[in-house]
Amino acid sequence: MRKTFSAVLVLSFALWLSRPASAQITAISGERMRPHVKFLASDLLEGRGVGTRGGDLAAEYIASQFAVAGAKPAGDNGTYFQKVMLVGTDPQPSTQMSITAAGKGEGSSLKWLDEFIGVTFSQKPEAEFDADAIFVGHGIVAPEYQWDDYKGIDVRGKVVVLFTGEPPSDDPKFFTGPALTYYGRWTYKYEEATRHGAVGAIIIHTTPTASYGWNVVRSSWSKEEIAPKTETGAHALSFAGWVTTEAGQRFASSLGKSVDELLKMADTRGFVAMPMPLKVHLKTQSKVREIASRNVVAKVDGSDPVLKSEAVIFSAHWDHLGVGEKIDGDGIYNGAVDNATGCSMLLELAHAWASLPQKPKRSALFLAVTAEESGLLGSEYYGQHPVVAAGKTALALNFDAFQPYGRYNDVGLYGSERLTISPMVQEAAKRFDLRIAPDPRPSAGTYYRSDHFSFARVGIPAFSVDQGDELTGKPPGAGKKLYEEFNDKHYHQPSDEYHDDWNFAGMETYARFGFLVNYNVANAPKLPTWHAGDEFLPARVQSGVK
């Protein structure tokens, strides 16, 4: 039955190509994206931090551009804005951590930023504790894989010490093989530690397990932590943080092990949590404030009297890291690639869709979300408070972080193969001569690291359109090399800035591709869903789609 449905979609796709939409697809312009990127990444917006003047300016700019495009407001009370209430906790350099081995009175202090970083989740100006440490491996409880790192240990009131990532495997039936699942993400680690009543959770950083260096941890976690407001009386971690590999060795030494040996233990089936013969003293100092942030939401109604109540989504996050630690004299984290580029594509897509002489049957939502950099909070809020219910949302395409270096021969569509519309997606890629690239870093858990994940969790078929590795007219691997250079030198750094010599041809192609996919889905005879056995299928069924 699934094959029959897929065949119908492919056939319908071929028929839809002759419609007037092809003119609008061709009209999508990379050069029209340029001024959006330049403005959103300008110093005037001061890094588009959540709860800052620059962030508010970014949201207002995007709303105004939706209006110019002809997309109507779809937020609260007839506006373009969906209010998202958050709390900001800004960790101060006076935050202290020390560890004391059992039987020794004097602790060993760790240096803020250089050896440890983190924040209290208590949303209070001060938090302090002296607690025993327990090594819990990867900190995972996954019954479907017969894995429980907390089995037989009570961590209430204790500090758990752990690694990011998950046990490595080539078996697709065990943590899906080499591709990281949500169990490997740092967000999950803190969530699980909270559920078990720990007072603190400390991740030992290694570049392979985190998939990025300490410089990224340092720049991301030294700034204000944005989170949903904690319910009164709910348990929260008094400290959620990271230590460097070198500082982690101090923890490992208490068990007579190296960091590598601890990681090997954590990776081994049958791992048993181990109390560490040391205490952790933590005293946090923070500035705490309530933040009224906003998602920006616009809508173009569909043409079918019945199906217009359903919708496709285009999304991108507007926020970045704001103003932070100066590097080479620059403290503005402009976020040109991440994610002024995605926002510019979103605005161009809204312009093209609103200009269609004949609208598709289903409606289209254009969603610029807040607080992605803080843990996908804006998209998570939208998932819980949707403009169009999850069961009536056909597909969400997300656009996040494009390097404007020219046209690419391939495209990353990680997770699209999990959907019943994957044949349609493949046909669209062929239309633009794009090879669908395999996930270059499956162990990094790419699917769980961008806003489409928030939509998938509530049952909406979703994936991100990502740039590929191969640049047209360049030597093999040129695009990959540029990506790696950006990741090493500019990702989450002040140097992620706009450049006048950027070539937007690749972004233009990817936007056209995304337009075509959602256009066809907006006209499809049935709502898409996930393939049988997929982890998100139960949420889709719960939303009312079978």
Residue 295 inside a domain? The answer is: no
The reported pLDDT for the residue numbered 106 is 67
CB neighbour list of residue 301: distance below 8 Å, 6 or more residues apart:
72, 308, 359, 363
Residue 293 inside a domain? The answer is: no
If asked whether residues 237 and 338 sit together in one domain, one would say no
Element (H, E) at 247: helix 245-253
The reported pLDDT for the residue numbered 446 is 84
d(CA 72, CA 233): 40
pLDDT band for position 1 (cuts 50, 70, 90): very low
Which tens digits make up the pLDDT trace of 36-65?
A: 999 999 999 999 999 999 999 999 999 999
Question: Is 7's pLDDT higher than 70?
Answer: no
Report the number of distinct structural domains present in the chain.
Answer: 2
Residue 55 inside a domain? The answer is: yes
If asked whether residues 340 and 263 sit together in one domain, one would say no
Least confident of 211-220, 265-274, 393-402: 211-220
Q: Domain end: 256, 287, 318, which one? A: 287
Residue 100 inside a domain? The answer is: yes
Which tens digits make up the pLDDT trace of 79-91?
A: 999 999 999 999 9
If asked whether residues 30 and 95 sit together in one domain, one would say no
Which domain, by its residues, includes 420?
2-70+301-542
If asked whether residues 306 and 282 sit together in one domain, one would say no
Of 146, 127, 147, the C-alpha closest to 137 is 147
d(CA 50, CA 290): 11
- Looking up residue 370, the CATH number of its domain turns out to be 3.40.630.10
d(CA 352, CA 471): 26
Is the backbone peptide bond immediately before 339 cis, with ω within 30 degrees of 0? yes
pLDDT band for position 148 (cuts 50, 70, 90): very high
164 token code pair:
């990011």
Residue 21 inside a domain? The answer is: yes
Q: What is the pTM of this model?
A: 0.83
CB neighbour list of residue 541: distance below 8 Å, 6 or more residues apart:
459
Residue 256 forms beta bridges with which residues?
Answer: none
If asked whether residues 323 and 239 sit together in one domain, one would say no
The reported pLDDT for the residue numbered 19 is 54
Residue 207 inside a domain? The answer is: yes
Residue 376 inside a domain? The answer is: yes
d(CA 300, CA 363): 6
Answer yes or no: are the C-beta atoms of 86 and 293 closer than 8 Å.
yes
d(CA 85, CA 371): 11
Burial class (CB in 10 A: 0-12, 13-18, 19+), 499: exposed
If asked whether residues 53 and 155 sit together in one domain, one would say no
Interhelix angle 30-40/53-69, rounded to 10 degrees, is 160
Mean pLDDT, rounded, for 522-526: 95
If asked whether residues 499 and 475 sit together in one domain, one would say yes
If asked whether residues 420 and 460 sit together in one domain, one would say yes
- Looking up residue 272, the CATH number of its domain turns out to be 3.50.30.30
The reported pLDDT for the residue numbered 229 is 86
If asked whether residues 102 and 216 sit together in one domain, one would say yes
CB neighbour list of residue 124: distance below 8 Å, 6 or more residues apart:
286, 288
The reported pLDDT for the residue numbered 105 is 61
Of 217, 33, 13, the C-alpha closest to 114 is 217
If asked whether residues 400 and 337 sit together in one domain, one would say yes
Q: Percent of the chain at pLDDT above 90?
A: 84
Which tens digits make up the pLDDT trace of 412-459?
A: 999 999 999 999 999 999 999 999 998 877 777 888 889 999 999 999
Q: Domain end: 287, 315, 347, which one? A: 287
d(CA 415, CA 462): 8
498 token code pair:
């706009």
If asked whether residues 169 and 211 sit together in one domain, one would say yes
Q: Domain end: 287, 309, 343, which one? A: 287
Burial class (CB in 10 A: 0-12, 13-18, 19+), 245: middle
What integer best gives the mean pLDDT of the chain? Answer: 93
Residue 79 inside a domain? The answer is: no
Residue 274 forms beta bridges with which residues?
Answer: 135
d(CA 507, CA 397): 14
The reported pLDDT for the residue numbered 246 is 97
- DSSP character at residue 414: T
- DSSP character at residue 257: -
If asked whether residues 108 and 211 sit together in one domain, one would say yes
